[in-house]
Amino acid sequence: MLWLPGVDLKPFSVAWQSKKQFGLAVIKVGPYTTELFKIKTGERLGFNGPYGNGYNLQGKKLLLIGGGSGLASVTFLAQAAREQGLAVDFVLAAKTADKIIYQSWLEKLGVKVYHRFQNQKYERAWQLIEDLAEQNNYDAIYACGPELLLEKIVDLALLKKIFCEISIERYMKCGIGICGSCAIDPLGICLCQAGPVVSAEFAKKITEFGKFERLASGEKHYFKK
């Protein structure tokens, strides 16, 4: 949870880490991120956490998929996988070329990167993911990105019986299970603690998965299919 004094506290994923540093990858989308982009070296920025759970690395050949603001959580996983010598194919789904970040860094780590620019329904990325899953024997699939794409990935993994974990974004205010803003239907559990990473099997138990999320007020926001 990244704290910009006087502005807000918002959830972000660690995108990479070294012995002394860690990095975040932030997309400017609204008031908080606009203020965050103005921050200069020497100004104050704080964080709590990390909270929730992370991915469980399994197998030797992995398919990682990152889209939009979900990219950071899987780039960090790619780094961890390469440090363990695992083979990683990475699908980077972005809306435009300027949103393709970390490609050369991933390639330097030895990751095979594929990217697809998106139309509204993420059909191009989906086609690529289906083709890759058909042509390769992946031991595991990990993904974070637009929920309608995550829903398809979960169904594909369950059908092909491939171990799969996804990271689901919900509105998070505290990050520690107090405010309830990230509670999911029908389980009522808080995704900031029980997630954001869940297994494909667990995702199927969330009835709102792929249907709606809740806004800051708690009001439902339905995904456009």
Residues forming contacts to ligand FAD in the complex (CB under 6 A) are 10-13, 24-27, 29-33, 69, 72, 169-173, 196
In the complex, the smallest distance separating the C-beta of residue 43 from ligand FES, rounded to whole angstroms, is 26
Task: In angstroms, give the least distance from the CB of 54 to ligand FAD.
Answer: 11
Residue with Cβ nearer ligand FAD (27 or 45): 27
Which positions touch ligand FES (CB under 6 A)?
172-175, 177-182, 190, 192
Nearer to ligand FES, 87 or 179 (CB): 179
Question: 48 vs 104, which CB is nearer to ligand FES?
Answer: 48
The least distance separating ligand FES from the CB of residue 47, rounded to whole angstroms, comes to 15
Q: Give me the least distance between CB of 51 and ligand FES, in Å please.
A: 9
SS (H, E, C) the chain: CEEECCCEEECCCEEEECCCCEEECCCCCCHHHHHHCCCCCCCCCEECCCCCECCCCCCCEEEEEEEHHHHHHHHHHHHHHHHCCCEEEEEEEECCHHHCCCHHHHHHCCCEEEEEECCCCCHHHHHHHHHHHHHCCCCEEEEECCHHHHHHHHHHHHHHCCEEEEECCCCCCCCCCCCCCCECCCCCCEHHHHCEEEEHHHHCCCCCCCCEEECCCCCEEECCC
- In the complex with ligand FES, the residue whose CB is nearer, 95 or 173, is 173
- 25 makes contact, choosing from ligand FES, ligand FAD, none, with CB < 5 to 8 Å by partner type, with ligand FAD
193 vs 201: CA distance, rounded Å: 17
| Least distance (Å) between residue 69 CB and ligand FAD | 3
69 binds, among ligand FAD, ligand FES, none (CB under 5 to 8 A by kind): ligand FAD
